[in-house]
Amino acid sequence: MMKETFLTITSTAPTVRYLNHGETEVYYTLNHAPEAIDMSVVKDGCLVLDDHYGRAVGIIREVQITPNWTGGVCLWLPDAGAIAEDAAKLYRRNASAELITIKKRRVGEHLGKPLFSIDRWRLEAVALVCYPGNPTVGIERRYCPA
């Protein structure tokens, strides 16, 4: 029997991104209107990876789209082992969306760095990571802006 855990994949919070091998820091926000998100890759489920280039350890069968976040219930695969146990204990919480930018525009600055709005994007997977670019996403997190 597979264990279940709620996992937020993306949110509308400004998220840091490093370009040119970490030399340029920028921020972006994701448009969460249903028509802004290409779900073609994850229509049958969003894979949860144990790192950006890691193996699949879980799947989110039905990705929920809200005005502030995407996410859903992660079903841990049988061989997820310690990863699923750590997630259940909230030892491992950080996540990072694997996405492709389709359309973006610069909208200003955030913390003195360029801020872009990603108006159209494709969700491909989500990875469990040590250091997230967006601390509002991950295991048992739901972003609600003030």
Q: Which two tokens stand for residue 133?
A: 């670019």
Average pLDDT over residues 122-144: 90
Q: Where in the chain are the domains?
A: 4-139
Task: State yes or no: pLDDT of 124 exceeds 50.
Answer: yes
Average pLDDT over residues 129-142: 88
Average pLDDT over residues 15-30: 83
pLDDT digits (tens, 9 = 90+) for 54-107: 899 999 999 999 999 999 999 999 989 899 888 888 888 999 999 999 999 999
Taking alpha carbons only, the member of 128, 93, 97, 125 closest to residue 12 is 97
The pLDDT of residue 2 is 52
Residue 68 CA to residue 55 CA, distance in Å, equals 28
Average pLDDT for the chain: 90
More reliable by pLDDT, 30 or 24: 30
- pTM here is 0.89
Which pairs from 56-65 meet CB under 8 Å and 24+ separation? 57/83, 57/84, 57/128, 58/5, 58/7, 58/84, 60/7, 60/9, 60/126, 63/9, 63/39, 63/123, 65/32, 65/34, 65/37, 65/39
Q: How confident is the model at residue 1 (pLDDT cuts 50, 70, 90)?
A: very low
Least confident stretch, 15-19, 47-51, 93-97, 142-146:
142-146
